[in-house]
Amino acid sequence: SYVLTQPPSVSVAPGKTARITCGENNIGIKSVHWYQQKPGQAPVLVIYYDNERPSGIPERFSGSNSGNTATLTISRVEAGDEADYYCQVWDSSSDHRLFGAGTKLTVL
Amino acid sequence: QVQLVQSGAEVKKPGASVKVSCKASGYTFTSYDINWVRQAPGQGLEWMGWVNPNSGSTVYAQKFQGRVTITGNTSTSTAYMELSSLRSDDTAVYYCARERGNYHYYMDVWGKGTTVTVSS
């Protein structure tokens, strides 16, 4: 089972804003990272340290983290954004890395 | 450019072991930890463990303790993940990923994955 709670699916029309959540008790005190995975491909880091974008990731991708919920926001959604998205944190007590179960983003 | 190149697909029988390699290039191998993450068909990402190639230190997910061994060879800049006592539910794509961060670690470069099929 996964400690980090993500909705199984999110649907959005092209040009609109998609928000994908990642929930855990007091997740706001941790740093959350987000990965995009398209079918048949390896995951790609899209957000790290809650809201930092790696080079090459469009500004349309942003993140926030507060309280019990972290959120990945994709603005002006494009068909090419359709993918599975996973959140990930570091558990300091065990030195383990934890993933959410993933959210399938569908662009209508 | 920074790359992680993984070994090819494997087919194993139940009870056997598999060893997957991950060759790093484009950066100093000993400067970053390597994680292993697997993904069963139609399922999500599952973290297995990591290795510090410089010290050889490892941490494994509890689920794989006793069955997984992750190592690094600094002379060849290659990390390895060996999983023993294979079962059918170990059928998955296995990824290696470079890790960054000063605490609150994240994985910035991933290999393309190695498919391991366990079948009698």
Mean pLDDT by groups of 10 residues along chain B of 120 residues: 98 98 98 98 98 96 97 98 98 98 94 98
Record: contact A33-B44, CB cut-off 8 A: no
Give the model confidence (pLDDT) of A43-87 as tens digits.
Answer: 999 999 999 999 999 999 999 999 999 999 999 999 999 999 999
Give the model confidence (pLDDT) of B27-38 as tens digits.
Answer: 999 999 999 999
| Nearest CA among A11, A26, A6, A15 for reference residue A85 | A6
Which residues in A have their CB inside 8 Å of a CB on B?
2, 30-31, 33, 35, 37, 41-45, 48-49, 54, 84, 86, 88-90, 92, 94-102
Q: Judge whether A18 and A106 are in contact, CB under 8 Å.
A: no
Per-residue pLDDT at A108: 96
Per-residue pLDDT at A2: 67
| Nearest CA among A105, A49, A61 for reference residue A82 | A105
**Is the pLDDT at A1 greater than 80, yes or no?**
no
**B26 close contact with A: CB closer than 8 A:** no
What residues pair up with A34 in beta bridges, in sequence order? A47, A87
Record: contact B107-A102, CB cut-off 8 A: no
Task: Give dist(CA A80, CA A107) in Å, integer.
Answer: 8
| Token couple for A77 | 């959604």
Record: contact B105-A92, CB cut-off 8 A: no
Burial class, A54, CB count within 10 angstroms (exposed 0-12 / middle 13-18 / buried 19+): middle
Task: Give dist(CA B50, CA B61) in Å, integer.
Answer: 9
Per-residue pLDDT at A53: 98
Per-residue pLDDT at B44: 97
Shortest Cα distance from A77 to chain B (angstroms)?
A: 23
Nearest-CB residue to A45 (from B106, B111, B112)? B106
- Residue given tokens 């006592």 in the structure block: B85
Task: Give dist(CA A13, CA B39) in Å, integer.
Answer: 29
Record: contact B104-A49, CB cut-off 8 A: yes
Per-residue pLDDT at B85: 98
Q: What are phi and psi of B50, to 5 degrees?
A: -140, 160
Which of chain B's residues have a Cβ under 8 Å away from the Cβ of A95?
A: 59
Per-residue pLDDT at B102: 84
